[in-house]
Amino acid sequence: MNCEIITIGDELLIGQVIDTNSSWMAARLNEIGVRVVQKTTVSDDPAHITEAIRRAETRAAVILMTGGLGPTKDDLTKDTLCRYFNTELVMNSKVEADLVSYFSARGRELTETNRKQAELPAACKPLYNKLGTAPGMLFEKDNRVYISLPGVPYEMKDIMTEQVIPLLKIKAGDIAIFHYTMMTIGVGESFLADLISDVESGLPPYIKLAYLPSPGMVRLRLSCYGSNEEKKLQVLDEVNKIKVLISKYIYGYNDETIEMVVGNLLREKGNTVSFAESCTGGYLSHLVTSIPGSSDYYIGSSISYANEVKSKFLGVDPEVIHEKGAVSEEVALAMAKGVRSKLGSTWAVSTTGVAGPGGGTPEKPVGTIWIGLDGPSGSFAKKFNFAGDRLRNIQLTGAFALNMLRKELIGERDN
């Protein structure tokens, strides 16, 4: 079963709001065998919305829309759908009662503007919204399903999870989509392609291989559509062939992030970690603490951006900074040792570098990064030469710093 996702809103087109809804919906649809064939974003304009629906009908049996369901005059999706399905707005007593309860619970009266949220096209099935004021709507016509949901992410997700997914799961039947992803780090997309070219050339036609790069990482995803158990086993067989060729670059599988993998290793070993961050400005700490349960192994950090903090808090010798520079092997090592000693962690990782866009020199251009590590197996530091913009350099530093720690935890130091 094919699906097209249509996101509606001028704010999406001018970049004021980033569309996270469609990626979340696509992932959930994929899990039940509904294949998203296109995503379309249109403005809050009835003609644009109508044209997007008509085009989607040529590609998909499920047309899933988000946005434009608010109570204000710029929210036009409901009126547009009413005209599209040649129906009229009628007051829905349950939605009206829900709205009264919603506002009463917040000590507010239901205004006439908000009461209009309870007016729904007579031809639709309401999708009740227990977290907000805009209900979703479901239409069926010519063996197609049209679903309109609020654009507020947490409201959309609740309606999708509780009402839309169960319905579409029944309609999709037993057709499944099987994916298996290998997460790699420290190797480029083209180099990976060369390493596994023979396996890729020999893949059966029903297995697709995709390269999905991100800063410092590449995901290799093998997919099988309409899969049965025999085809799934074939996918896993191809995965094993690839793993033999690129095992040293694989840090995890499927939805595992590098911070999840490192966290699990620390927990399994009963180890702890702390960070001394300069050029990353807390990004490493953010990655690690984004994982639930990270308090099991994360002690704390020093965001030692200024040289004075490196010296006063971490004990880095000012003469070393003066002689070698803040971006140096010696300072990276001293920072890691200093924070480990100060906070008493099993492991410590430090970052110091020139993230950019300014601050570079011929000797240390933008993208020059030193990452230090101190722990039970000793101390060492590595130099990296990145070439991206500031944010990319910070992201790359975070990824490679965690990977250095991962390799040390499994005893595979990459000198």
Q: Averaged in consecutive runs of 10 residues, what is the pLDDT profile of the chain (415 residues)?
A: 95 94 93 92 96 97 94 86 96 94 91 91 96 95 96 95 94 80 96 96 94 94 82 94 96 96 98 98 98 98 97 97 98 98 98 96 96 97 93 96 97 80
DSSP for 63-107?
EEEES--SSSTT--HHHHHHHHTT--EEE-HHHHHHHHHHHHTTT
Token pair of 159, please? Answer: 């309606």
3-state secondary structure of 83: helix
pLDDT value for 175: 66
Which run of H or E residues covers position 407?
A: helix 390-409
Rounded to two decimals, what is the model's pTM? 0.79
pLDDT at 415: 62
Interatomic CA distance for residues 59 and 4, integer angstroms: 7
Helix (H, G, I), strand (E, B) or coil at 317: coil
Q: Are 68 and 8 in contact (CB under 8 A)?
A: yes
In 173-250, alpha helices (H): 189-195, 197-201, 229-246
d(Cα 239, Cα 18) in Å, to the nearest integer? 34
Phi, psi of 107 (to 5 degrees): 70, 30
User: Which pLDDT belongs to residue 75?
Assistant: 80
Distance of alpha carbon 224 from the chain centroid: 22
Residue 184 near residue 220, CB atoms below 8 Å: yes
Q: Dmax over Cα atoms in the chain, in whole Å?
A: 79
Give the pLDDT confidence score for residue 227 in this predicted structure: 63
- Whether residue 63 contacts residue 146, with contact meaning beta carbons closer than 8 Å, is answered with yes
Question: pLDDT tens-digit profile of 312-351?
Answer: 999 999 999 999 999 999 999 999 999 999 999 999 999 9
**Predicted pLDDT at 71:** 83
Query: Tens digits of per-residue pLDDT, 129-140?
Result: 999 999 999 999
User: Quick one: which of 260, 267, 268 has its CA closest to 287?
Assistant: 260
Residue 384, both tokens: 């990296």
213 φ, ψ to 5°?
Answer: -80, 150
The pair phi, psi for residue 40, each rounded to 5°, is -130, 135
Average pLDDT, the chain: 94
Contact 69, 79 (CB under 8 A): no
